[in-house]
């Protein structure tokens, strides 16, 4: 009985140990860099664009096939119900056979098409490059979204610490008030107010915890992680100011932004398409070779082969002005892309300037709020001493506590604002 109980105890202990180990093992520890990597691998929009890029690559192979000859096989069997014949006096002469077999190979090779095949191939190559730029642009946007969400998570974590610190300060304040009340140096009103203030500080703490949980779930969804997966994120809200120059930033943006490169690729595609349409007026030269193995062989019922080769020329003479309309459409596409390029450049410059303004505003806000926190800390230390000596009221000390909490909250909120502004600036210049 003792051995059985011992075995059951060890089994329960082993199961509990495994369960605890599994929970620790399943917890996902995330830094910003790891989060960016996971988002790049799991984000649905990026995965779709990755497949589109792969498809564009295989379309290049498809277009390359136009340079090679095409080889086809044909085979047929025909059974004639009535064999053709003619009558000479009393003699009936058949000119065919009941069973007819025909096997053949044919090969065709474009010899000269005025660049149509080359232009079609170039279009697919350029389209693949354009799709890669589209993927790069989306990747930059996803990185910005991940950074913004990650910084907001760090903010939620720090605000939770501020709320917890505020509660500890209020507990200490209540302890001092109660001691003064017991000594007859504080009124019952001061004691009740300190208790109420402490009670009122718990709902914001619960709200801060809920905001952290909600932010974590939103972050999991952004990264494509199962919502049931526990995560722990590591990072600090650090202020690391950067120097920026408007002219240099605009130059980098116009050189590096994938949107600009994408428009250049679209223009190249439109030019190639115009060349293809313009070549429609010109003749195509195609070479061909054919080999036949058949029975009957002409008028003899036996297997034999024949071959032929030649060159064909085709050229449209009149298509109802369809080609002319297509040429005009292609030229309109080019003109539209020129306008789009200028418009995109202006939008990018505006985005760069806005990002720089946001950076400067966030930096100034951090500096001012940091000074406010220092002053609020000093004020609280002074207030604690003065209240202990009976120089100020409990209400005045609680006001300094509240001022410190507000200053800390504003300072912490300013940090992710600057980090997000930095991320937006980097995206604006195509970094």
Q: Where are the alpha helices (DSSP H) in 232-321?
A: 246-256, 258-278
Ranges of each domain in the chain: 21-69+114-282+320-428
> For the chain, how big is the Rg over CA atoms in Å?
40
pTM over 0.85? The answer is no
Q: What are phi and psi of 224, to 5 degrees?
A: 75, 30
Gap between the Cα atoms of 180 and 168, Å rounded: 19
186, 271 Cβ separation under 8 angstroms = no
Judge: domain 21-69+114-282+320-428, CATH 1.20.1600.10: yes
Pairing of strands 99-112, 231-233: unpaired
Gap between the Cα atoms of 174 and 73, Å rounded: 96
pLDDT value of residue 16: 39
pLDDT value of residue 9: 39
Q: What are phi and psi of 104, to 5 degrees?
A: -155, 150
pLDDT value of residue 194: 82
Q: What are phi and psi of 316, to 5 degrees?
A: -70, 135
Question: Which of residues 325 and 17 earns the better pLDDT score?
Answer: 325
pLDDT digits (tens, 9 = 90+) for 98-128: 899 999 999 999 999 988 999 999 999 999 9
pLDDT value of residue 5: 46
């Amino acid at each position: 009985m003792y051995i059985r109980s011992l075995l059951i105890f060890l089994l329960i202990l082993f199961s509990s140990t495994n369960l605890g180990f599994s929970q620790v093992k399943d917890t996902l520890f995330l830094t910003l860099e790891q989060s960016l990597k996971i988002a790049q691998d799991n984000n649905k929009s990026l995965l779709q664009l990755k497949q589109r890029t792969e498809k564009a690559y295989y379309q290049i192979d498809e277009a390359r096939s136009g340079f090679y000859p095409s080889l086809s096989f044909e085979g047929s069997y025909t059974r004639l119900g009535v064999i053709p014949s003619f009558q000479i006096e009393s003699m009936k002469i058949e000119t065919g056979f009941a069973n007819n077999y025909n096997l053949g190979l044919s090969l065709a090779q474009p010899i000269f098409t005025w660049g149509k095949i080359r232009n079609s191939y170039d279009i697919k190559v350029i389209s693949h490059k354009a799709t890669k730029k589209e993927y790069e642009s989306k990747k930059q946007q996803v990185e910005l979204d991940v950074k913004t969400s990650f910084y907001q998570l760090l903010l939620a974590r720090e605000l939770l610490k501020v709320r917890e610190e505020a509660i500890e300060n209020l507990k200490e304040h209540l302890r001092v008030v109660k001691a003064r009340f017991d000594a007859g140096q504080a009124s019952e009103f001061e004691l009740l107010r300190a208790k109420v203030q402490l009670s009122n500080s718990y709902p914001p703490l619960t709200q801060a915890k809920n905001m952290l949980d909600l932010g974590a779930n939103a972050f999991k969804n952004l990264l494509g992680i199962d919502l049931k997966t526990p995560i722990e994120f590591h990072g600090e809200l650090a202020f690391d100011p950067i120097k920026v120059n408007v002219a240099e930033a605009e130059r980098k943006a116009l050189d590096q932004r994938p949107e600009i490169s994408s428009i250049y690729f679209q223009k190249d595609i439109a030019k190639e398409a115009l060349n293809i349409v313009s070549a429609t007026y010109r003749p195509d030269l195609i070479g061909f070779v054919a080999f036949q193995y058949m029975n009957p062989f002409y008028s003899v019922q036996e297997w034999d082969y024949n071959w032929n080769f030649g060159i064909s020329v085709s050229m449209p003479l009149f298509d109802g002005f369809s080609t002319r309309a297509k040429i005009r459409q292609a030229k309109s596409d080019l003109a539209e892309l020129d306008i789009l390029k200028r418009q995109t450049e202006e939008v990018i410059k505006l985005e760069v300037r806005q990002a720089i303004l946001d950076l400067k505003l966030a930096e100034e806000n951090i500096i001012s709020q940091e000074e406010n926190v220092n002053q609020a800390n000093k004020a609280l230390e002074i207030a604690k001493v003065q209240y202990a000596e009976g120089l100020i009221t409990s209400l005045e000390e609680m006001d300094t506590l509240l001022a410190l909490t507000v200053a800390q909250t504003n300072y912490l909120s300013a940090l992710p604002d600057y980090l997000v502004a930095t991320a937006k600036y980097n995206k604006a210049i195509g970094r």
